Amino acid sequence: MPAYRLGHAIAANLEHVRTVFTGHLPFEIIPVDDGSDDNTRHEIERTAARYPEILPVYIPENAGKGAALRRGFEAARGNFVLLLDADLDLPPEQAADFFAVMEREQADVVIGSKMHPESRLSYPWHRRVMSRLYYGLVKCLIGLPVHDTQTGIKLFTREALGYAVQRMLVKRFAFDLELLAIIHNKGFAVAEAPVTLHFRAGFGCMHPRAVRQVMQDTLAIFYRTRILHYYRSLWELRLPEPPPLVSIVIPCTRPGPRLAECLDGVRRQRYGNYEVILLPDATTGRTWQTPLREIPTGPVRKVNKRNAGIRAARGTFIAFLDENGSPAEEWLERALGYFPHPDIAAVGGPLSAARHDSFAARIAARIATNPLVSGKYRYRYTPDRVRTVRDHPLGNLVVRTEVLQALGGLDGSVPYGDDVHLGLEIRKRWGGKIVYDPWAQVRRHVAPLWLPHLRRLARHAFRRGRFARLYPGTLRSSIHVLPALFVLAVAAGGVSAVFIPPLRPVYGYALAIYTLLVLLGSVPWESLLLRFRLHAATTLITALGIIATHAVYGIGFLAGGLTPRAPATRPSPAPAPRPSPAPPD
């Protein structure tokens, strides 16, 4: 029962559901508080203390109904799972009919349908119209053999729901559609049942931003289902047996509030067999709650600290974090699910912006996720679909220890190139894959505009330029080269315009077109189109930040690329053996 801001009713609703099911079949009730900011959690805790059948789950911050379903399923133990909206617009007494339909039609899933001829509805006309229009769109795009995907009561066999939950990406409004699309695409049987609906919420959550998100997610599900055939191509996830030890390596300079956030995220992990290796400059003298070993390294570079952590690690896998990153609760559990496949060497996830950062930090994060800046690497900063990648940042990466040992650790010859070089070595010499999974998420604090962001960017660009000089084959993507070409074009165009007067208008037009494109790419279109409100200050600051990012990165990349080749800091290790091929799923 996903619940959000239902403190006024959740206790009575839980007691009502318990009364309905008592005496009919063994059951458990799993209310999932989706980060409510009222007294919902308190009311759930109070009710659960009275009834052992109620097993609550709490999500720290609002993540969406799809994420709540996922967390609830992970806590469920039953052979059947009933999804029921916690507001009880749909009476729980209908569940008996759903079991009857499942048995009669030999279905794996039974969904409530407002369009079933036997349904009894107290439902506003505008919601009926919206449902009809959405059904037509879904029928055209996805081809689901059902008339209604959004009704909040559904009955699943554990096998069908488990298969779908592993593959879900949508966390909010269109999660029902994605769930059913995955199930239908696999070949599970879906049946419909009539419902009785007493609608009490007016327009409910269907405000303009929700409509926009539903449409965007619907088109994405169509693309993944019909174009990419994405859901069938994914790996089956299962934790290694027995649960292996994971060594979490965290380099830092000295303890601070951000390190405390990081360790708090580690303590909340649902996977419990881990050790933490903290690598500060000097001994901290602190007593830590987390199982933690301190290894003082002195004021050395981050890559040297990580190599010290690799040497000290006792785990079968090594998970790299930065001190300013806080992992999601399922971070380790999700990553480890891939490693029973022997050809997978490493798993990473998005480095999303921390919540509740300053305005300047939020703008810097907005710039990082803008397609004009990150291009095809946008998935590194915001959750996207599962994929194999060439390399991934070491702020969120879990790697087989045997791989790191076979490769001789991380390459420290070029700062900021250790993650790219590790990806190159894994693919070319170890013969393995690196997988990106959006649920293996780490939230990190972003350097705010202006000076901290640009200073960090300049260092990163300089080191990327040096790495490109050493390994020119890693520049197949043009994203790192484009800012450098932009800087050269602006400089060459400016010089030409000074000495060749006929070129001045052309140069001016080119700069104007570039500025216009950046402005258009900085507009929060959902606010402009759906709420008729343009955030002019946010748009202008974002646009100026993008221009400054292009210029600083381009200059830094050129400067780094023109520096002399640096000598390697470690000998090349012996070639590692290739893994045996993965068994078919």
For 278, phi then psi, to 5°, come to -95, 130
pLDDT at 549: 94
296 and 331 together in one domain = yes
136 and 219 together in one domain = yes
The reply to whether 552 falls in a domain is no
Average pLDDT over residues 273-284: 93
The reply to whether 186 falls in a domain is yes
Report the amino acid identity of residue 128: R
250 and 228 together in one domain = no
For 584, phi then psi, to 5°, come to -65, 145
The reply to whether 522 falls in a domain is no
CATH of the domain at 170: 3.90.550.10
pLDDT band at 471 (very low <50, low <70, confident <90, very high): confident
* Count of domains forming the chain: 2
Of 418, 445, 472, which closes a domain? 445
Report the relative pairing of strands 433-436 and 387-389 from DSSP bridges. antiparallel
Report the amino acid identity of residue 343: D
User: Out of 45-49, 128-132, 263-267, which region has the weakest mean confidence (pLDDT)?
Assistant: 128-132
* pLDDT above 50 for 475: yes
Average pLDDT over residues 180-209: 76
Q: Which residues of 219-240 are buried (b: 16+ CB within 10 A; e: fewer)?
A: ebbbebbeeeebbeebbebeee
pLDDT at 416: 64
The reply to whether 582 falls in a domain is no
414 and 271 together in one domain = yes
The reply to whether 372 falls in a domain is yes
For the chain, percent of residues with pLDDT exceeding 70: 89
What six digits make up the tokens of 303? 């890559």
pLDDT at 463: 84
pLDDT band at 470 (very low <50, low <70, confident <90, very high): confident
CB 124 within 8 A of CB 49: no
In 289-409, where does DSSP find H-type helix?
Answer: 302-312, 331-336, 359-369, 371-374, 401-406
Q: How far apart are CA 310 and CA 363, in angstroms?
A: 35
Average pLDDT over residues 483-499: 87
94 and 215 together in one domain = yes
pLDDT at 12: 96
21 and 144 together in one domain = yes
For the chain, percent of residues with pLDDT exceeding 90: 52
**pLDDT of 560-578, one tens digit each?**
888 775 544 443 333 344 4
Give the three-state DSSP class for 571.
coil
pLDDT band at 2 (very low <50, low <70, confident <90, very high): very high
Of 233, 266, 288, which closes a domain? 233
* Total length of the chain: 585
Report the amino acid identity of residue 354: A
pLDDT at 170: 80
Say which residue, 452 or 206, is predicted with more confidence: 452
* pLDDT above 70 for 250: yes
The boundaries of the domain holding residue 60 are 2-233
Tell me the C-alpha to C-alpha distance, in Å, between residue 537 and each of 358, 541, 542, 548: 15, 6, 8, 16
**pLDDT of 142-153, one tens digit each?**
878 888 887 889
211 and 255 together in one domain = no
pLDDT at 169: 87
pLDDT band at 335 (very low <50, low <70, confident <90, very high): very high
pLDDT at 457: 93
153 and 261 together in one domain = no
* pLDDT above 90 for 243: yes
417 and 286 together in one domain = yes
pLDDT at 585: 40
pLDDT at 365: 92
* pLDDT above 80 for 126: no
228 and 287 together in one domain = no
The reply to whether 451 falls in a domain is no
Residue holding tokens 């027995």? 242
289 and 210 together in one domain = no
Average pLDDT over residues 107-130: 81
The total of other beta-carbon atoms located within 10 Å of residue 7's CB is 17
Q: Which residues of 378-410 are buried (b: 16+ CB within 10 A; e: fewer)?
A: ebbbbbebbeebebbbbbbbbbbbebbebbbbb
pLDDT at 524: 65
Per-chain mean pLDDT for the chain: 86
**pLDDT of 516-559, one tens digit each?**
888 887 776 555 444 445 567 888 899 999 999 999 999 999 99
pLDDT at 417: 75
Of 190, 211, 233, which closes a domain? 233
223 and 265 together in one domain = no
Q: How far apart are CA 351 and CA 216, in angstroms?
A: 22
